[in-house]
Structure 1
Amino acid sequence: MAVEVVTIMFNTFFQSAKANSSLRASLFEDKNIFFLHLLGIDTNGHAHRPMSREYLNNIGLVDSGVAEVVSIIEDFFGHDGKTAYVFTSDHGMTNWGSHGAGHPSETLTPLVVWGAGVNGAKRVTGPQPFSDGFLQDWKLEHLRRVDVSQADIAPLMASLIGVPIPVNSVGVLPLLYLNNSERFKAESMYTNAIQVLEQFKMKMTQKKETTLSFLFTPYQLLTESKQAEFSHKARILIEQEKYEEAISLCQSLISHSLDGLVYYHTYDRFFLGCSVVLGFVGWTSYVILVILKTHTSLNRHPGLLKQNPSSTLAKVCLCLTAVIAVFLLVQSSPVTYYIYCLLPVPVWYSVLKESGTLTDLLRSAPSLPLWKCLAYFVLVALGIELLVVSFFHRAMLTVGLAVLSLWPFPSGLFAKSKFRSLSWCLGCLCLAAFPLMPVVGRESNTHLVTCAGLLTLFTSACYFCSSRHKTPLHPSGTQQFVIQMLHVAVCAYVPSLTHSSLEQKRGLPLFCQIISWTTLASSMLVPLMSSTRLFHRLLSLFLSFTATYLLLSTGSEALFPPVLSWLMFAWINIEQEALHAQSAASRQEVKPLSTFDFSAHVDITKLRQLKLDDIRRSYFFVFFIITAFFGTGNIASINSFDPASIYCFLTVFNPFIMGGLMMWKVIIPFVIVMCTFETIQVVTQLSSRSLFLIVLVISDLMALHFFFLVQDQGSWLDIGTSISHYVIVMSMTIFLMLLSVVTRILTSRRLNLWRTSKMHFP
């Protein structure tokens, strides 16, 4: 349809030009560009996938439409042979109708150029240096293939119509596309080289003006004298008709200029990087000191209790701040530089102010179990490295889960509770299978969604029956759980019914759409009507969120929430066993899990100090949060979002609603883990502030690692992924704190829609 509209518009436009002399005169001028944006293939690819009948028909429609548009243009200009055509695409697409994951099918696009000034296809007899198989697939091995970067199209078009190359273009003119004299090619390449060199000069001048002269280090391969030498020599070679040498020299100049642009763009990277690292290390040190000071039983030395911070320290920090500010002011540095460079000063001032806590730690060192502490810190350090690597290789989470499954054995918990320990081990090993599954390119399999629903019903029935014997439920509570389980059964069937209807071209059934939107709207409200007893509320939350997740699933990922929830229940139970083991040594009483109520007020006098085991609990939490995201996806899977996963809700392209549904699907596993962590805080009688401070230290150490892994070269996916990893870890603590508020409401609040009135009898 879009191609037909474009064809009609072009035909009408050129017909009107025949009657309008001024329009006709302007069209016959040189250097005109007609731009056609044919969106039909993109839209049909997303909606019906590239191998569908609709997509292939659209390809044929575009081919015929382009041929008709070319015929209209050629007829108007009298087939004068002065028009060039460039046919290309901005991105490719996967077989499942998405793009953004960096696969060659998404990043490699066709480029077909023909017409005035363009070389024809050249025949070749030998093999060509391409191993991707595209030449064989399209049966074009006999024709020369010339690949270019997307940025190279700008100088190519400029050269074809004889206009200046865009000022900020970093493309290199692909000479093999041009059918012109050798002198024209040399002059065009010289123009391209001068254009890129001017960008380099501008960048060098800007950096030179904002750097003290004795600190400025120019790019050695392209100093001012070498710039003049390159330009002069290239000009002489062209005048001497040594075109091949001139072209080679210009290509070398472009290469040096582009490298020089990167050099000056990253000129202050080391300076700013040192400032950021100082800030990170200082902030992490300060948080550790706060933990030691306020949340541990560290013995304070009497002589240090009343010690005030030295005024000399404050004066030194003020002087240092003034020196840094003046230095940046003299260099005319941007405002962001002040933030990067000045922020470490107050941070380290706060650290040095707490030197008394460090002194107390050193004094208490002989009485601490140093080997145990050292072993804990080594394990946590290795664990943090494993989490960092898992951002790039999801299979490392499988390794981590396999190691975690062995925890009950060295800790002695297996001997105390074999059933709970085996449940933990099996839960870890089952969850370990998910990071090994592909995140993009999965075929839809609604049978697995149905299986996930059955697994959810089985596990919830088991937990419901076991908890019911320990904590009897009110009949209304039993009815709610039965209704929720029936609701899960319906939601497990809806994706299969929806996809079957769409495959038969009958559209989205209204029944499925009503169930889907009702489930989504009620997912946060229904759990609030259940009992606030520990397992009852958790089970209600699990059923409610899993029902929504099933509606947003198309395959094996639907099994993730029930398996994750199983492991989370096992974690709560085995932490209770760990508390029993600790209480036996300290002769303290531990309440059974069945007696805990989320709505009960916390007695702050009973909140205990941190122990080494709490570092393990915090690490487990961070590990499961990372697993909640990377267990079924990664950054590429979000970029390459499969539209089929939201077909139960809508089939019309709406990026805002689709994005919101996708984000809710990503958040659901986080909520499950967060509710579990909230439960463990209640069970272990530990303040959330102390545990979050440990989580903050772990996330800061990961963020520092990712800071060094941020890159600005490579594909846009590589660059975006490295930045995304850094931003995710940096914002993780804030996100978890906000999520903690939500989960506290979900676990402790009770919503009574039907209040029964009390009657008093005399």
Structure 2
Amino acid sequence: MKMVTFFVVGLLVHIVFFVSIFDIYFTSPLVHGMTPQYVPLPPPAKRLVLFVADGLRADSFYKPHVNGSTRVPFLRNIIEKKGMWGISHTRVPTESRPGHVALIAGFYEDVSAVAKGWKENPVEFDSVFNESRHTWSWGSPDILPMFAKGATGDHVYTHSYPAVNEDFASTDASTLDTWVFDEVKAFFKYAKENETLLSRLHQDQNVFFLHLLGLDTNGHAHRPLSAEYMDNIGLVDAGIAEIVSIVEEFFGHDDSTAYIFTSDHGMTSWGSHGAGLPSETLTPLVAWGAGVQAAQRDISQHYEDDYMREWKLDTLKRVDVNQADIAPLMSSLIGVPIPLNSVGVLPLNYLNNTQRFKAESMYANSIQILEQFKVKMSQKKETTLSFLFTPFPPLTESAQQNFVRNARVLIDMGQFDKAIRLCEGTITQAMEGLTYYHTYDRYFLGASVVLGFVGWTSYVVLVILKTHISSRGLGRTFMSLGLATTIFLMIQCSPWMYYIYCLLPIPVWYCLFLVFIQVLSFFYRAMLSVGLIVLAGWPIVSGLTEKSKSRTVSWILSCLCLALFPLMPVVGREPNVTLVTCAAAMMLFNASSYLWSTRKVTPLHRKDLQIFFCQVMATVALCAYVLTSTHSSLQRKEGLPLVNQIISWSTLISSFVVPLLSSTRLFHRLLSILLSLVSTFLLLSTGCEALFPPVLSCLMFVWINIEQEALQSKGASSRSHLSSTDFSDSIDITKIRQLRLDDIRRSYFFVFFIIMAFFGTGNIASINSFDPASVYCFLTVFNPFIMGALMMWKVLIPFVIVMCTFESIQVSTQLSSRSLFLIVLVISDLMALHFFFLVQDYGSWLDIGTSISHYVIVMSMTIFLMVLSVFTHILTSKRILVGRRMKMHFR
């Protein structure tokens, strides 16, 4: 009962620590209650047409062919003669939802959106669509609804195609864009016959939004350098040219329409997005029409990148913006208030208007951001004791009043340039002030959580010491180090305080050394390779080589082979089905070799042999065939074969059941679990990562054997033979031995291998920017939740392999799982405390996401290991007997 209580309490404590960073670092910055700001001058445009080519890279759009011709003749002509152009810098994650929120609402999606999967609005927010008189939108069902749901009233209309159309295996994904263009043409044709709609269309402050998803889908399916992707760019250009012609004709060429063409994010050369490479964060921006500056010559401009010359645009003025700046630009063009939560700054170089209009627009922009600052300050002031409240120094209430008065006076006096500079400075200060009040309570809450960490870790250490007070190995080590230090100081005739200074770091640095290499591996995956090379020499240093040279050689080779994986790239890998097939063959060979080598020591029953035969000769081989067949079919543009899809899902589901049908003998059950997991992993692999589970499992099997040798070398009693060890056997509590120094090493090895299981073939970027081809055996129609779940299980499979190995070591070494788990708890909590101080909520989304992920991974590891230990215990020790009810065995 005490163990259950400790488990529940520990789980709750770590859940609190886990949730704490979201209350400390990642509460939503959005506030409500601001007043919309209007520009008291007539806008230049009555309507706006927004084209967003989802997944379009800047270089793919701007770069001409080798012969100098362009794939976008219409938009190229706009750039050279009629409009302004530049690069829109997006933020990470470069995904569709946060990109469109930045474009249309003017702010960068906060972390709370992750909890909703970027499908629902976590908080209500304002947008250009909401501020418009009417907005008509066409495109994806994943993007359009979130702006309609967030709108007040019923003036945002959506027209989307069925979600099933977003199929990565379609023969031509550009049909998604063709659908949009056809629907818009039909819409204007119908409007000529509908007087009510015709009247609405001729009102001012209207917006038309065309979301073009074909490029993103073709980029995922065929890569951005493919003919399909490049042809799709040409189709988009031709479609936009036709829509512009129809719009101009419909409104009688009244020169009152503004046009903006851009993208929500780019794409890597291997067809993914979500991280922060330039190919993902640099997107095109072209604006023309009413109120937009015409093309300008400028041969004196200089940029850090070398794109201008490559794009043949070095003589045309280029104006770059942040993605959130496009929202205030659209608002200014049609004369609607800038979205209330926008943090974008109006790019004046895109406007073709008077200086008074620019000054008034910038003034409205600064007041709009200042309004957010005022609400934020008021909220914090109301929830803080008056004598503890410290206002943001640069923007006190008097400073705000002075700005409003001075800016207004400068505009009224016609000193527009000075007014603009004053507004820009105030915007910068207001943004800093928003951050100041948003992080006001951070240090207080952070200190409280740190005290909780220290208290909990100290309690766990005391529990370990209380349970194993007679642990002599650890004590002898500390005594030896302390004695050596003392003798050295005595020889030096050092003062007595020197003894304290020199002896204190011994236990501290002992603990720090255990976690140092693990912490460093979160930032540099190559450190795992260094760690594995160091671990390879463990049997030699510990003297285990003399007992079993063959296992020592196996350990060294397995460590060195596994050390290769952290050195491989995690993104940008081209699919290589041959490597996946090699991984399947390697698994078949390993399993067959084991069954042959143990046929006399631990013969299997006929039914167990049938299960192994089914797994080894059928499932693994069949999965390799299904993967090859699926990718071949997709390359031929024949889609995902239904039979392959059924086999893939059946394999995934059966992988949770088949191991429970096999023998509970240690190696037999482990092999059954491994074969089931690897079968699913193969279906989710596209290249060299498929080799990771077979190599990892080889090392795990050697680890189990070599730990048995280490235990026997210490003179400890052990069971007869590992091959006869049964997971379902009950352990005699009288045989549970005391904790030894080797058990701390075992726990450290376990934590190291858990980290290796995650970072061996991936990292944060690989999750943010995974290749959709990994799930093509299961589905090709875009479904973020199912795809995310499949990728998460792929990530967890190596974890389960390591967990089952650790369960085997606990059984074979006759050590209480509670004791080993407590040591693991201390190590992981020390790592978590380190990453707690490294969490940041500033910089790019990649920086923020990486800092969150590191803390979340370590904290989740503790919580996750608690839960996963129950799952692996069931997976290893329980057995389903066909035709009879399940027999429940408890150790």
Q: Which TM-score band applies after superposition, normalised by the shorter structure?
A: 0.7 to 0.9
Q: CA RMSD in A?
A: 2.6
Q: Paired residue for 1:516?
A: 648
Confirm or deny: 8 A CA contact 1:395 1:435 kept in the other structure: yes
Q: Paired residue for 2:531?
A: 400
Q: What is the deviation of 1:414? A: 2.0
Corresponding position: 1:419 with 2:573: no
Corresponding position: 1:255 with 2:386: no
- After superposition, give the CA deviation of every residue in 1:364-385 in whole Å (9 maximum; x if it has no partner): 9999556599878645422312
How far apart are the structure 2 equivalents of 1:473 and 1:128?
A: 74
> For residue 63 of structure 1, what is the amino acid of its counterpart?
D
- Out of 187, 191, 212, the position equivalent to 2:364 is 191
How far apart are the structure 1 equivalents of 2:480 and 2:811?
A: 27
Q: What is the deviation of 1:123? A: 2.0
1:528-677 matches, cutoff 5 A: 528-583=660-715, 588=717, 591-677=720-806
Q: Paired residue for 2:847?
A: 718
For CA contacts below 8 A with separation 6 or more, give which structure has more relative contact order.
2
Confirm or deny: 8 A CA contact 1:579 1:590 kept in the other structure: no
How far apart are the structure 2 equivalents of 1:79 and 1:43?
A: 35
Instruction: State the secondary structure of the residue aligned to 2:217.
Output: helix
> For residue 304 of structure 2, what is the amino acid of its counterpart?
F
- Out of 319, 330, 334, the position equivalent to 1:157 is 330
- After superposition, give the CA deviation of every residue in 1:366-424 in whole Å (9 maximum; x if it has no partner): 99556599878645422312222222221111111111112112212223322212211
Task: Check 1:376–1:431 CA distance in 2 against 1; reply closer, same or farther (3 A cut).
Answer: farther
Instruction: State the secondary structure of the residue aligned to 1:753.
Output: coil
Q: Paired residue for 1:701?
A: 830
Confirm or deny: 8 A CA contact 1:376 1:612 kept in the other structure: no
> For residue 700 of structure 1, what is the amino acid of its counterpart?
D
Confirm or deny: 8 A CA contact 1:464 1:539 kept in the other structure: no
Corresponding position: 1:442 with 2:573: yes
- After superposition, give the CA deviation of every residue in 1:266-322 in whole Å (9 maximum; x if it has no partner): 0111111111111111111111111211244379xxxxxxxxxxxxxxxxxxxxxxx
Confirm or deny: 8 A CA contact 1:580 1:590 kept in the other structure: no
Task: Check 1:535–1:79 CA distance in 2 against 1; reply closer, same or farther (3 A cut).
Answer: same
Instruction: State the secondary structure of the residue aligned to 1:35.
Output: strand
How far apart are the structure 2 equivalents of 1:620 and 1:146?
A: 54
Corresponding position: 1:62 with 2:236: yes
Instruction: State the secondary structure of the residue aligned to 1:410.
Output: helix
Q: Paired residue for 2:188?
A: 14
- The answer for unaligned runs of 5 or more in structure 2 is 1-174, 484-502, 886-891
Q: What is the deviation of 1:425? A: 1.4
Q: Paired residue for 1:491?
A: 623
How far apart are the structure 2 equivalents of 1:60 and 1:516?
A: 37
Q: What is the deviation of 1:263? A: 0.7
Q: What is the deviation of 1:672? A: 0.7
How far apart are the structure 2 equivalents of 1:257 and 1:184?
A: 22
The structure carrying a bigger helix percent of its residues is 1
How far apart are the structure 2 equivalents of 1:83 and 1:489?
A: 61
Confirm or deny: 8 A CA contact 1:88 1:111 kept in the other structure: yes
Q: What is the deviation of 1:166? A: 1.7
Confirm or deny: 8 A CA contact 1:427 1:566 kept in the other structure: yes
Q: Paired residue for 2:875?
A: 746
How far apart are the structure 2 equivalents of 1:633 and 1:681?
A: 28
Q: What is the deviation of 1:627? A: 0.8
Q: What is the deviation of 1:511? A: 4.6
Confirm or deny: 8 A CA contact 2:468 2:739 kept in the other structure: yes
1:50-129 matches, cutoff 5 A: 50-126=224-300, 128-129=302-303
Q: What is the deviation of 1:590? A: 5.4
Q: Paired residue for 2:513?
A: 382
Task: Check 1:531–1:377 CA distance in 2 against 1; reply closer, same or farther (3 A cut).
Answer: farther
> For residue 632 of structure 1, what is the amino acid of its counterpart?
T
Corresponding position: 1:410 with 2:541: yes
1:8-407 matches, cutoff 5 A: 8-126=182-300, 128-131=302-305, 133-297=306-470, 371=482, 378-407=509-538
How far apart are the structure 2 equivalents of 1:430 and 1:119?
A: 60
Q: Paired residue for 2:99?
A: none
Confirm or deny: 8 A CA contact 1:296 1:611 kept in the other structure: no
- After superposition, give the CA deviation of every residue in 1:423-450 in whole Å (9 maximum; x if it has no partner): 1111111111111111111100111111
How far apart are the structure 1 equivalents of 2:548 and 2:303?
A: 62
How far apart are the structure 2 equivalents of 1:689 and 1:269?
A: 35
Confirm or deny: 8 A CA contact 1:527 1:537 kept in the other structure: yes
Corresponding position: 1:474 with 2:474: no
Instruction: State the secondary structure of the residue aligned to 2:837.
Output: helix
Q: TM-score, normalised by structure 1?
A: 0.86
How far apart are the structure 2 equivalents of 1:722 and 1:692?
A: 26
Instruction: State the secondary structure of the residue aligned to 1:93.
Output: coil
Q: Paired residue for 2:112?
A: none
Task: Check 1:594–1:91 CA distance in 2 against 1; reply closer, same or farther (3 A cut).
Answer: same
Task: Check 1:370–1:194 CA distance in 2 against 1; reply closer, same or farther (3 A cut).
Answer: same
Q: What is the deviation of 1:160? A: 0.9
How far apart are the structure 1 equivalents of 2:708 and 2:510?
A: 22
Q: What is the deviation of 1:651? A: 2.8
Task: Check 1:715–1:647 CA distance in 2 against 1; reply closer, same or farther (3 A cut).
Answer: same
Q: What is the deviation of 1:724? A: 2.3
How far apart are the structure 2 equivalents of 1:92 and 1:754?
A: 56
**Percent identity over the alignment?**
68
Q: What is the deviation of 1:74? A: 0.8
Instruction: State the secondary structure of the residue aligned to 2:321.
Output: coil
How far apart are the structure 2 equivalents of 1:295 and 1:185?
A: 75
Confirm or deny: 8 A CA contact 1:406 1:425 kept in the other structure: yes
How far apart are the structure 2 equivalents of 1:739 and 1:524?
A: 14
How far apart are the structure 2 equivalents of 1:525 and 1:105?
A: 43
- The answer for unaligned runs of 5 or more in structure 1 is 300-360, 757-762
Confirm or deny: 8 A CA contact 2:471 2:739 kept in the other structure: no
How far apart are the structure 2 equivalents of 1:137 and 1:494?
A: 43
Instruction: State the secondary structure of the residue aligned to 1:409.
Output: helix
Instruction: State the secondary structure of the residue aligned to 1:752.
Output: coil
Aligned residues: 690
Q: What is the deviation of 1:673? A: 0.5
How far apart are the structure 2 equivalents of 1:172 and 1:197?
A: 12
How far apart are the structure 2 equivalents of 1:10 and 1:366?
A: 78
Q: TM-score, normalised by structure 2?
A: 0.74
> For residue 493 of structure 1, what is the amino acid of its counterpart?
Y
- Out of 485, 498, 501, the position equivalent to 2:633 is 501
How far apart are the structure 1 equivalents of 2:391 and 2:568?
A: 49
Q: Paired residue for 1:326?
A: none
How far apart are the structure 2 equivalents of 1:272 and 1:42?
A: 42
How far apart are the structure 2 equivalents of 1:175 and 1:7?
A: 31
> For residue 98 of structure 1, what is the amino acid of its counterpart?
S
Task: Check 1:603–1:589 CA distance in 2 against 1; reply closer, same or farther (3 A cut).
Answer: closer
How far apart are the structure 1 equivalents of 2:416 and 2:318?
A: 24
How far apart are the structure 1 equivalents of 2:757 and 2:718?
A: 34
How far apart are the structure 1 equivalents of 2:309 and 2:687?
A: 33
Q: Paired residue for 1:319?
A: none
Q: What is the deviation of 1:481? A: 2.8
Confirm or deny: 8 A CA contact 1:96 1:441 kept in the other structure: yes
More off after superposition, 106-115 vs 219-228: 219-228
Task: Check 1:6–1:459 CA distance in 2 against 1; reply closer, same or farther (3 A cut).
Answer: closer
Task: Check 1:571–1:375 CA distance in 2 against 1; reply closer, same or farther (3 A cut).
Answer: farther
How far apart are the structure 1 equivalents of 2:201 and 2:609?
A: 78
Q: Paired residue for 1:352?
A: none
Task: Check 1:714–1:70 CA distance in 2 against 1; reply closer, same or farther (3 A cut).
Answer: same
How far apart are the structure 2 equivalents of 1:192 and 1:653?
A: 38
> For residue 800 of structure 2, what is the amino acid of its counterpart?
V
